[in-house]
Structure 1
Amino acid sequence: MATRPKAQTNRFPVPGRPECPALPRSRASQSGFALVAVIWTLGLITLLGMAVIVGARYRTKTSSNYASVAAAEMAAESAVNLAIAAALAATPEQATNFPLRCRLPGGERATITVEEETGKVDLNTASPAALTRFFTALTGDQSKGTRIAAQIVEFRNPKAQATPAIKPAEAPFMTVMQLDQIDGISPRLFRTALRHVTVRSGRPEPDMNAASPATLRLLNVQPKPAAARRGLPAGGTITIRADISASDGTRFIREALVSLEGANGRPFVIREWRRGDIDPSSAQQERAQGAARACLRVRDAAAS
C-alpha cells in the first residue's frame, strides 16, 4: 500500500518575492541591542562635543574678562600717577581742579578725585562724640553707633601691659583696614565707612572745609559752594581715587594713600594701595557730564 505525502501548509512561495529565511531569536536580540548601543554612543559623543565647545567659549570669555580687568587696573594706576604728577607740578596760577573727568590714551574714561585726610574721621584721635555721631549716621542706630565708638576708644587705648617695660602703642590703628577688627563692624559697614575714616589727620574733629561731598552728606553738613572744587593741597596726606570705565563696560576703581611730603628727600610716598567700591552717585554724575577731554596733552616741541 502506497503512503501519502504529508501536506505542507503556508509553504507556498509568493511569486516575484524572494523568500527570506527566518532569523534565529538570539541573533535578532543581538541586533536590537547593537542598535541601541550605537544610538547611545552617538548621543554621548554629541554631548561631549557640546561640552567641549561650551567650555572653550567660557574659557575664551573668562580670559577676555581677565585681560579687560587687567587693562582697567593699569589705567587706574596711571590715573593715580597722573594726579600725583599734577600735585608736584602745580603752581598757584595753574592748579588742577578736582574731580577731574577726562579720557586716557587707551580710550578709558577716568574720574579722578582727591580726598584730604584732614576731612575724615581719625580712628586714633577723633573724640568719642565725633565717633558716635559718625557711626550713628552710618548705621542709623544711636545705640549701635555709641557701642562701636566705645569699642574703637577701647581698642586705641589698650590697658597697661603685664610687663612694665612694654608700653602700649601710641597709634594702635596703623591702617584703616584694621577697622574690621572692631566688634560690631559688619563687612558691609566696613566697606561703607572705609572712605570716610583715616589714621593720619591727627584731628579730634574732621575739617568740614576739606571733607569730601560724600562725607558731608553723611554728616548732614551742607557743603559750601566755594569748596565744591578744590585743588591739591600743598602738603599733607591725601587719598587719590581713580574710577576707570572702559569702552567694553569694564570698571575698576583704585585708591592710593599718598603723602606729598615724603621722607629722606622724596617728593611723595605712596603709603597704601586699595581697591575702591563703586559709588552710584558718582556714576550718575559721570554719565551726565561725560568725559570727552583728554587727560594728557602732548605739546609740540617745535611750537614751543
Structure 2
Amino acid sequence: MESRSDSGFALLVVIWATGILGLLFMTYIVAARYRAIEAASLSQHARAEAMANIGIKIAILDLLSGTSQGKARSGRFGSDGTPVGCSLGDGWTLAISVADEGGKVDFNTANMELVDALIRGVNANGEAAAMIVRNIRG
C-alpha cells in the first residue's frame, strides 16, 4: 500500500512532465511559425529580385531596339531618368528609369587638365579651383 506522500510525489511528477511536454509543444509551434514567416519573406525577396531582373531586361531590350536597323532609338524610356511604370501580373508594378551616363567624369582615370576645366566650370573663382586641383593631385 502506497503512503500518502508517495501519491503526492507521483502527482507532482505527472504535473511536471505535463508542463515540460506543453513547453516543448509550444516551442515547436513557435518555431514552425517563425519558419513559415521566414519562408514567406524569402519568397517575397526572390520574387522582388526576379521582378528587378525583368525590369533590367526590359530596359536593355528597349535601349537596343532599332539599333540593328540603324534607326534612331525611339523607345519608351527617356534618358533623363524619369521612371516609367510597367504593370505586371499579381498586382506588381515596376518603375523603370534609364539615365544617360555620358558626360560623367571618373576622377580616378581622368587627366588633371579635364579635372581642372571641370572644377573651373563649376566654380567661378580660379584660385579656389586651382587649390582643389592641387589637393586632388596631392
| Counterpart pick for 1:103 among 66, 87, 95 | 87
More strand by percentage: 1
CA pair 49-62 structure 1, distance change in 2 beyond 3 A: same
State the AA in 1 paired with 2:50.
M
1:66 pairs with 2:42: yes
CA distance in 1, matches of 2:116, 2:9: 82
CA pair 105-94 structure 1, distance change in 2 beyond 3 A: farther
Matches within 5 A, 1:1-304: 27-90=3-66, 92=72, 94-96=74-76, 97=78, 98-125=82-109, 127=115, 150=136
CA distance in 2, matches of 1:79, 1:129: 37
State the AA in 2 paired with 1:95.
G
CA distance in 1, matches of 2:12, 2:51: 58
Match of 1:17 in 2: none
Q: Which runs of 5+ in 1 are unaligned?
A: 1-22, 132-145, 155-304
3-state SS of the aligned residue for 1:122?
A: coil
3-state SS of the aligned residue for 2:94?
A: strand
Provide TM-score, normalisation by structure 2: 0.65
Structure 1 residue 111: deviation in Å? 1.0
Structure 1 residue 57: deviation in Å? 1.2
CA distance in 1, matches of 2:56, 2:117: 34
Q: Which runs of 5+ in 2 are unaligned?
A: 120-131
State the AA in 2 paired with 1:33.
F
Per-residue CA deviation, residues 185-219 of structure 1 (Å, 9 max, x unaligned), is: xxxxxxxxxxxxxxxxxxxxxxxxxxxxxxxxxxx
Structure 1 residue 58: deviation in Å? 1.0
Match of 1:211 in 2: none
CA pair 130-32 structure 1, distance change in 2 beyond 3 A: farther
CA distance in 2, matches of 1:122, 1:84: 24
CA distance in 1, matches of 2:117, 2:16: 74
More helix by percentage: 2
Identity rate of aligned residues, in percent?
A: 37
3-state SS of the aligned residue for 1:117?
A: coil
Structure 1 residue 118: deviation in Å? 3.0
Structure 1 residue 107: deviation in Å? 3.1
Higher Rg of the two aligned structures: 1
Q: How many residues matched?
A: 112
CA distance in 2, matches of 1:32, 1:128: 92
Higher relative contact order (CA 8 A, sep 6+): 1
In the alignment, is the contact (CA less than 8 A) between 2:85 and 2:96 conserved in 1?
Answer: yes
CA RMSD of aligned residues (A): 3.0
CA distance in 1, matches of 2:105, 2:17: 68
